[in-house]
Amino acid sequence: MSIAISGIGISRGIAIGAVQRLEQGEIEVYEAAIPGALIEEEISRFRRAVRTARQQLKAIRNSIPETTTADITDFIDTHLLMLEDSMLTATPVELIRQHQCNAEWALKIQRDALAQVFDEMDDPYLRTRKDDVDHVVNRILRILTGRDTHADPLDDDQLRGAIVIAHDLTPAETALLHHQGIAGFITESGGPLSHTAILARSLGLPAIVGTHTTPHQIRDGDNVILDASRGVLLADLDAATLRDYRRQQRQQQKYRSELKHLKDEPAITLDGTRMHLVANVELREDVLAARRAGAEGIGLYRTEFLFMNRTDIPDEEEQLQQYLSVVKTLKGLPVTIRTLDLGSDKECGAEPAREHTPVNPALGLRAIRLCLKHADLFRPQLRAILRASAKGPVRMMIPMLSSAHELDTVLALIDDVKQELQRERLAFDLHIPVGGMIEVPAAALSASLFARKLDFLSIGTNDLIQYTLAIDRVDDEVTYLYDPLHPAVLRLVKMVIDAGRQYHTPIAMCGEMAGDTRYTRLLLGMGLTEFSVHPTALLEIKDTIIHSRVADFHTQVDGILQDDEPAAIIERLDALNKM
Ligand code: PEP
Ligand code: MG
């Protein structure tokens, strides 16, 4: 009898290999007295461990592909910076001297002291810094205690081709395991929108998260199949299942290498409709990856990433230089710059002080709400975006709009900033297109209002699903409810597309749903013409588009939109995808 473990498939593909469980959890540390004569030797042992940790992180940093989103490399850079900081390098040395103790114990004393400092702060951003300290300390401790199974990233036969099972993985660990040649991984915790999930997708690593448990019957060395598309790991396999999966795996590999030919092909359906395929990027560096994948421009530039992992706020000039360099890299292709979407899970060190800690940050002062309250944060960004528009095709996009009053206030503010720039004789595109994201059910239900007043709209399904289904997108206990095919979600998406048609306002989709080929034909049938997706998903979406005759989809798509039964919706979707 085969064993199946289900979780959330966060990437695509099939991996077949032997299980390797990663020993994780708290590393137990004991105090040992070190005789005075051996103190310097102990200090050298500690310094060597820090050096090794640094080398490991640099090896990870160098192994990350260029196409990886920059927040992942920033994450590793933060850990590298911590390894340069005296709090983790000099203080433990002083503690070894002071307590005449072993390096592990000194590091533990310092970690506990830092943890206490972080615990006394209730700022969520700083709490994530505490996790970073833990990751770095654990890395050094693993090296010191000889439990470092990842010491040599290239020479670990146990991991090559393995399916790793872990309780949780940091992005840095994920990158290292990829470097060591693992075939895929599953973790008991984690959600589809975590940094680890984003990294697994960019690395093309089949992975499942949030399995909660992994049965003890599955042991190291057992042969298993990881089917990331279905979010399932199969063990105790029979020969026929294994053969079938090997065949599917070969087909998938062949398909991926064939896709490269599509890079410069236009995305035209079989019945002649031209679709627009643009990319989502976080930082300037990602723009090259987008161009390499053949994107026709940037449909979502998440500018808040420029504000993260630092303690100051980038001023107008710094923002302008960033935006200009994106414009330059794009060589005439358009870029949609989204104004700051801070708040909720996206915190930055220099965020304005809050009157209170929000109980429900996703429903609180985030995105455009935060910007309208803090003109000192918002105006410099508006000025920088407008000034960048003098040098190339720039569009401005406002996140999380929910009401007419909010929209009118933003538009008035943009006008005011334009007048200010005119008075200062600073150049900008007077007709810069201004669009909005439809991420809140209220905005989708009143989409015609937004379609009338804005130059374009983009559907942010990540948040639209979160708010429609009342599920916190970063809470792994409710990710099982995340469902782009929920009738309520589909009907809201359709309403937005129809409002766009009525007012001749272009509608794009930039949430994760747009980058998942399972939904491409459904979205085409619903009338979507612009898809903004992660650069690694672009060619697959294009391939689906060029093999689609949209005129044939109407019966199935209408059926899906009218149906309420999840099983019937999935059946119809499968039929649509097989046409
Ligand atoms: C979305 O909500 O779908 C979106 C694209 O924005 P973000 O993921 O940055 O919230
Ligand atoms: Mg969003």
> What is the per-residue pLDDT across 272-282, written as a single tens digit (0 to 9) for each?
999 999 999 87
Highest-confidence segment of 44-48, 78-82, 345-349, 361-365: 44-48
Q: Is residue 356 part of a domain?
A: no
Do residue 314 and residue 225 come from a single domain?
no
CATH number at residue 96: 1.10.274.10
Q: Provide the angle, in degrees to the nearest 10, between the axes of the packed helices 461-469 and 487-502.
A: 130
Q: Answer yes or no: is pLDDT of 1 > 60.
A: no
Tell me which residue has its CA closest to atom 9 in ligand 1. 302
Best residue among 363, 462, 532, 533 to mutate for probing ligand 1, ranked by most atoms within 8 Å of CB: 462
Helices (H), 100-238: 103-119, 124-144, 171-179, 195-203
Residue 283 C-alpha to ligand 1 middle, in angstroms?
15
Residue 456 C-alpha to ligand 2 middle, in angstroms?
16
Ramachandran category for residue 320: left, alpha or beta (phi over 0 → left; psi -120 to 50 → alpha): alpha
Q: Answer yes or no: is pLDDT of 194 > 90.
A: no
**Which residue, chain included where needed, has tokens 């310097």?**
40
Residue 536 C-alpha to ligand 2 middle, in angstroms?
20
Nearest alpha-carbon partner for 167 in 131, 226, 209 = 209
Q: Is 223 in the pocket of ligand 1 (CB under 6 A)?
A: no
Best residue among 466, 510, 516 to mutate for probing ligand 1, ranked by most atoms within 8 Å of CB: 510
CATH number at residue 192: 3.50.30.10
Whole-number Å distance between alpha carbons of 546 and 271? 9
Do residue 140 and residue 165 come from a single domain?
no
Do residue 58 and residue 206 come from a single domain?
no
Q: Which atom of ligand 1 is nearest to the CA of 461?
A: 3
Residue 33 C-alpha to ligand 1 middle, in angstroms?
53
In this structure, the number of other CB atoms found within 10 A of the CB of residue 436 comes to 29
Across 333-346, average pLDDT: 88
Q: Answer yes or no: is pLDDT of 213 > 70.
A: yes
Whole-number Å distance between alpha carbons of 576 and 579? 5
pLDDT band at 62 (very low <50, low <70, confident <90, very high): confident
Please give the C-alpha separations between residue 474 and each of 344, 439, 440, 467, in angstroms, as whole numbers. 10, 16, 17, 12
Q: Answer yes or no: is pLDDT of 7 > 60.
A: yes
Angle (CA) 350 76 535, round 5°: 90
Q: Is residue 558 part of a domain?
A: yes
Residue 511 C-alpha to ligand 2 middle, in angstroms?
7
Q: Is residue 258 part of a domain?
A: no
Share above pLDDT 70 across residues of the chain, in percent, rounded to a whole number? 91
Nearest ligand to the CA atom of 336: 1
Do residue 179 and residue 307 come from a single domain?
no
**Cβ-based burial of 10 (10 A; exposed 0-12, middle 13-18, buried ≥19):** buried
State which of 86, 115, 144 marks the end of a domain. Answer: 144
Q: Answer yes or no: is pLDDT of 66 > 70.
A: no
Nearest ligand to the CA atom of 305: 1
Residue 462 C-alpha to ligand 2 middle, in angstroms?
6
pLDDT given at position 78: 83
Q: Is 493 in the pocket of ligand 1 (CB under 6 A)?
A: no
Q: Is residue 274 part of a domain?
A: yes
State which of 245, 276, 300 marks the end of a domain. Answer: 245
Q: Which atom of ligand 1 is nearest to the CA of 512?
A: 3
Do residue 197 and residue 173 come from a single domain?
yes
Q: What does the pLDDT look like over 355-394, one tens digit per residue?
A: 677 788 889 989 999 999 999 999 999 999 999 999 999 9
Whole-number Å distance between alpha carbons of 205 and 198? 10
Decide which of 436 and 537 is more confident.
436
Q: Answer yes or no: is pLDDT of 306 > 90.
A: no
pLDDT given at position 427: 98
Tell me the pLDDT of the chain averaged across its residues. 88
Nearest alpha-carbon partner for 337 in 532, 199, 539 = 532
Do residue 171 and residue 86 come from a single domain?
no
Residue 396 C-alpha to ligand 1 middle, in angstroms?
15
Bridge partner residues of 18 (DSSP): 223
Q: Is 302 in the pocket of ligand 1 (CB under 6 A)?
A: yes
Q: What does the pLDDT look like over 105-142, one tens digit per residue?
A: 999 999 999 888 887 776 655 666 777 788 889 889 98
Decide which of 173 and 578 is more confident.
578
- What's at 255, amino acid-wise? Y
Across 186-213, average pLDDT: 81
Residue 471, CA atoms < 13 Å, CB-side half-sphere: 21
pLDDT given at position 262: 95
Q: Is 345 in the pocket of ligand 1 (CB under 6 A)?
A: no
Q: What protein residues have CB closer than 5 angstroms to ion ligand 2?
A: 439, 460, 463
Tell me which residue has its CA closest to atom 7 in ligand 1. 462
In the set 150, 371, 510, 534, the catalytic residue is 510
**Which residue, chain included where needed, has tokens 């809050």?**
354
Q: Answer yes or no: is pLDDT of 436 > 80.
A: yes
**Which residue, chain included where needed, has tokens 């650069």?**
535
Provide the residue count of the chain. 579
**Which residue, chain included where needed, has tokens 């929108």?**
193
Nearest alpha-carbon partner for 285 in 322, 312, 315 = 322
Best residue among 281, 341, 440 to mutate for probing ligand 1, ranked by most atoms within 8 Å of CB: 341
Do residue 300 and residue 158 come from a single domain?
no
In angstroms, how far is the first alpha carbon of the chain from the final one? 34
In this structure, the number of other CB atoms found within 10 A of the CB of residue 35 comes to 9
CATH number at residue 324: 3.20.20.60
State which of 144, 166, 197 marks the end of a domain. Answer: 144
Do residue 290 and residue 182 come from a single domain?
no
Are 228 and 12 spatial neighbours (Cβ–Cβ below 8 Å)? Answer: yes
Are 226 and 163 spatial neighbours (Cβ–Cβ below 8 Å)? Answer: yes
Whole-number Å distance between alpha carbons of 385 and 395? 8
Q: Is 191 in the pocket of ligand 1 (CB under 6 A)?
A: no
Do residue 477 and residue 452 come from a single domain?
yes
pLDDT given at position 255: 84
Are 434 and 413 spatial neighbours (Cβ–Cβ below 8 Å)? Answer: no
pLDDT band at 493 (very low <50, low <70, confident <90, very high): very high
Q: Answer yes or no: is pLDDT of 150 > 90.
A: no
Q: Answer yes or no: is pLDDT of 151 > 60.
A: no
Across 568-572, average pLDDT: 96
pLDDT given at position 21: 87
Across 137-163, average pLDDT: 72
Q: Is 101 in the pocket of ligand 1 (CB under 6 A)?
A: no
Q: Is 273 in the pocket of ligand 1 (CB under 6 A)?
A: no
pLDDT band at 243 (very low <50, low <70, confident <90, very high): very high
In this structure, the number of other CB atoms found within 10 A of the CB of residue 91 comes to 17
pLDDT band at 154 (very low <50, low <70, confident <90, very high): very low
Q: Is residue 69 part of a domain?
A: yes
Q: Answer yes or no: is pLDDT of 534 > 80.
A: yes
Q: Is 461 in the pocket of ligand 1 (CB under 6 A)?
A: yes
Do residue 371 and residue 292 come from a single domain?
yes
Look at residue 573 and give its three-state secondary structure: helix
Is residue 195 part of the annotated active site? The answer reads: yes
Q: Is residue 552 part of a domain?
A: yes
Dump the DSSP string for 96-122: HHHHTB-HHHHHHHHHHHHHHHHHT--
Number of domains in the chain: 3
Range of the domain at 328: 265-351+361-577
pLDDT band at 334 (very low <50, low <70, confident <90, very high): very high
Do residue 176 and residue 318 come from a single domain?
no
For residue 5, the surrounding DSSP H or E stretch is strand 3-6
Q: Is 525 in the pocket of ligand 1 (CB under 6 A)?
A: no
Do residue 58 and residue 197 come from a single domain?
no
Residue 399 C-alpha to ligand 2 middle, in angstroms?
7
pLDDT given at position 127: 62
pLDDT given at position 69: 58
pLDDT band at 80 (very low <50, low <70, confident <90, very high): confident
Q: What are phi and psi of 344, to 5 degrees?
A: 55, -125
